[in-house]
C-alpha cells in the first residue's frame, strides 16, 4: 500500500515503537453503528491480512461486538435479566451451572473472542475429566475421608451425558440472549454438538407392581397421593401444590336428596367431579414456593375416576381428624396434602413416606417419579391413543410421550410378530 493512495474505508497500518504492526479501520458493530477497531501483528503483511478480514466481515454484514464483556460478567448480567421471566427453580439451576462450570472454565474469555473451538474443548474436558480431580472435591474433604484423587487413586467419576447437555444448553441460551441484544454477532455454542443422553427403557411399573404399590400404601396417611400419582400421572410438585378448591365436586359435596347423606355411595356415579392443576410446589434455596405448572399443557383439567374421588374423600376425613387433634397449632393452607399440622410438605421430605412404601411393595429401586412413567406406559398398553395420554399427564409434546416415557416390552414385540406370522402363514 506504500506509495499509493488508499480508498475510503480501506483502513491503515502503521508500526509502533516496539516493532508491532497495528491496523485500524472503521467497521460495523452489533448496534448498527460504525466504530474504529484495531488489529495487531508482528509483520505488516499479517496486519493487513487481519484488517482486511475485519473489513470484509463488516461488508458482508457480520458486525463486531459493540462492548467488551468477559463471559463471566455477561453471564452475571444474563442471570439477573432472565430471573424475572423464568421459573425460580430454573434460574437456580442456571446459577449452579454458571458458578460451578462456566465461570471457572470460560469466565475469563472475552465474549466477542469466544470461539466454537473454545466451547468444544470445554465440553470435551467436561466429558472426560474426573470431577473429583477437576473440582478438587476429594482434596477438600477431611484427610480421613479422602478416597480417590487426593490419595492418588482417581475414581474416574465423570459427568453424565444429561449433565453435559444441560451445561451446554445454559451456555447456548446465554449466548442466544447476547445475540438478541446485539452484543455478539453469532452464537458459537450452537456450532458445537453434544451427545444426547440415552434414556432407560421399560421404566415404571407393570400392572402387578402397581397393584402391590397401592396395597403397600393402604394404611399410609398419604395413600390418596399415591392413588393420584398412579391413576393421573401427576408430578410430585403438582400433587403437593394441589388445593381443595382445585376440585370441582359437581354436587358430590352436597347432601343426597334421596338418602340425606354426604357423598352417597349409591348416587356417586351420577356425578362427574374434576380436578384442575393450577400450581406446583417447589423448593428454591431455603424456601418453599408455589409456581405455575411446568408448561402450558401442564395446566390442565382432568376427570376424577370414582376410585380416585373416594380416595380423596377418605383423605378429607383424615385431614379433618388431624386438624382437630392439632387444635391451635393447625395451619390452614388449603392444600390437600399437608404435614400433620396442615403446612405444605417439602418435596424432599416426601421420601420419608415413599421409601417405606416401596420397600413393602418390593420396589426398592423404583423412584417416586417412576409412578408417573407407569401411568403413561399402562395407558398406552391398554390401547389409549397417545394424544389422550399426553393430555392426561400434561406433556408439552407428544414426542415426549412416545419417545421418553412409552416403551415396548418384549411381550409386546412377541405378540406383534406372532400376528404378522399368522397373517402371512
C-alpha cell recorded at residue 168: 451446554
Taking the alpha carbons of 89, 94, 95, 101 in that order, is the dihedral positive or negative?
positive
* Residue 6 covered by a domain: no
User: Does residue 144 sit in the same domain as residue 281?
Assistant: no
User: Does residue 373 sit in the same domain as residue 270?
Assistant: yes
End-to-end, the C-alpha distance of the chain in Å comes to 84
* Residue 386 covered by a domain: yes
Q: For Cα atoms 110, 116, 119, give the angle at the middle one, nearest 5 degrees.
A: 75
* Residue 283 covered by a domain: yes
* Residue 175 covered by a domain: yes
The long-range contacts involving 293-296, CB below 8 angstroms and separated by at least 24 positions, are 293/238, 293/394, 294/87, 294/235, 294/237, 294/394, 294/396, 295/394, 295/396, 296/396
3-state DSSP assignment of residue 348: helix
User: Does residue 45 sit in the same domain as residue 94?
Assistant: no
Number of H helices, E strands in the chain: 16, 8
Provide the domain limits for residue 40.
Answer: 12-60
Residue-level pLDDT, tens digit, the chain, 425 residues:
444 555 556 788 999 989 999 999 888 776 667 888 888 899 999 999 988 888 887 787 666 665 678 999 899 989 887 766 788 888 889 999 999 999 999 999 999 889 999 999 999 999 988 888 887 788 888 888 888 887 888 888 888 899 999 999 999 999 998 888 777 888 999 999 998 877 655 567 888 999 999 999 999 999 999 999 999 999 999 999 999 999 998 766 665 655 555 555 556 667 788 999 999 999 888 889 898 888 888 889 999 888 899 999 999 999 999 999 999 999 999 999 999 999 999 998 888 899 999 999 999 888 998 898 888 888 877 878 888 888 888 887 777 777 665 555 566 677 778 887 888 86
* Residue 66 covered by a domain: no
pTM, full prediction: 0.68
**Tens digit of each residue's pLDDT (9 = 90 or more) over 140-183:** 888 888 888 878 888 888 888 999 999 999 999 999 988 887 77
* Residue 197 covered by a domain: no
* Residue 199 covered by a domain: no
User: Does residue 321 sit in the same domain as residue 403?
Assistant: yes
* Residue 202 covered by a domain: no
User: Does residue 316 sit in the same domain as residue 224?
Assistant: yes
User: Does residue 186 sit in the same domain as residue 211?
Assistant: no
DSSP letters for 140-164: TS-GGG--SGGGT--------HHHH
Chain position carrying cell 402371512: 424
Residue that terminates a domain, selected from 128, 159, 191:
191
User: Does residue 244 sit in the same domain as residue 332?
Assistant: yes
**Tens digit of each residue's pLDDT (9 = 90 or more) over 337-395:** 999 999 999 998 888 899 999 999 999 888 998 898 888 888 877 878 888 888 888 88
3-state DSSP assignment of residue 181: coil
Strand partners, 24: 12, 38
User: Does residue 225 sit in the same domain as residue 171?
Assistant: no
Question: How many domains does the chain fold into?
Answer: 3
Amino acid at each position: 500500500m506504500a506509495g499509493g493512495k488508499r480508498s475510503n474505508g480501506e483502513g491503515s497500518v502503521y508500526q509502533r515503537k516496539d516493532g508491532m504492526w497495528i491496523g485500524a479501520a472503521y467497521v460495523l458493530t452489533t448496534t448498527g453503528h460504525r466504530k474504529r477497531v484495531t488489529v495487531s501483528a508482528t509483520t505488516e503483511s499479517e496486519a493487513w491480512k487481519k484488517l482486511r478480514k475485519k473489513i470484509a466481515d463488516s461488508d458482508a454484514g457480520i458486525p463486531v461486538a459493540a462492548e467488551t464483556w468477559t463471559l463471566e460478567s455477561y453471564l452475571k448480567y444474563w442471570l439477573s435479566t432472565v430471573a424475572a421471566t423464568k421459573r425460580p427453580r430454573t434460574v437456580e439451576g442456571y446459577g449452579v451451572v454458571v458458578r460451578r462450570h462456566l465461570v471457572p472454565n470460560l469466565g475469563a474469555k472475552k465474549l466477542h473472542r469466544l470461539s466454537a473451538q473454545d466451547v468444544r474443548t470445554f465440553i470435551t474436558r467436561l466429558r472426560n475429566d474426573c470431577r473429583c480431580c477437576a473440582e478438587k472435591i476429594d482434596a477438600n474433604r477431611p484427610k480421613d475421608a479422602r478416597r480417590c484423587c487426593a490419595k492418588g487413586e482417581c475414581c474416574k467419576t465423570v459427568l453424565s451425558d444429561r449433565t453435559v447437555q444441560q451445561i451446554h444448553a445454559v451456555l447456548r441460551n446465554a449466548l442466544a440472549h447476547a445475540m438478541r441484544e446485539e452484543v455478539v454477532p453469532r452464537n458459537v455454542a450452537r456450532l458445537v454438538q453434544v451427545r444426547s443422553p440415552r434414556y432407560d427403557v421399560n421404566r415404571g411399573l407393570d400392572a402387578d407392581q402397581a397393584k402391590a404399590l397401592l396395597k403397600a400404601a393402604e394404611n399410609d396417611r398419604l395413600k390418596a397421593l399415591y392413588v393420584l400419582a398412579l391413576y393421573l400421572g401427576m408430578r410430585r410438585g403438582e400433587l403437593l401444590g394441589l388445593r381443595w378448591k382445585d376440585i370441582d365436586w359437581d354436587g358430590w359435596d352436597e347432601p343426597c336428596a334421596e338418602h340425606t347423606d354426604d357423598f352417597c355411595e349409591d348416587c356417586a356415579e351420577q356425578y362427574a367431579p374434576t380436578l384442575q392443576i393450577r400450581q406446583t410446589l417447589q423448593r428454591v434455596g431455603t424456601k418453599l414456593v408455589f409456581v405455575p405448572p411446568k408448561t402450558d399443557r401442564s395446566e390442565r383439567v382432568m376427570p376424577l375416576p370414582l376410585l380416585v374421588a373416594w380416595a380423596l374423600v377418605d383423605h378429607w376425613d383424615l385431614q379433618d381428624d388431624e386438624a382437630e387433634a392439632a387444635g391451635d397449632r393447625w395451619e390452614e393452607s388449603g392444600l390437600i396434602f399437608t404435614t400433620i399440622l396442615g403446612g405444605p410438605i417439602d418435596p424432599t421430605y416426601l421420601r420419608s413416606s415413599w421409601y417405606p412404601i416401596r420397600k413393602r411393595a418390593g420396589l426398592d429401586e423404583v423412584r417416586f417419579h417412576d409412578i408417573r412413567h407407569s401411568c403413561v406406559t399402562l395407558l398406552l398398553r391398554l390401547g389409549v391413543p397417545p394424544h389422550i395420554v399426553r393430555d392426561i399427564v400434561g406433556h408439552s409434546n407428544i414426542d415426549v410421550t412416545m419417545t421418553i416415557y412409552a416403551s415396548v416390552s418384549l411381550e409386546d414385540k412377541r405378540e406383534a410378530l406372532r400376528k404378522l406370522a399368522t397373517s402371512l402363514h
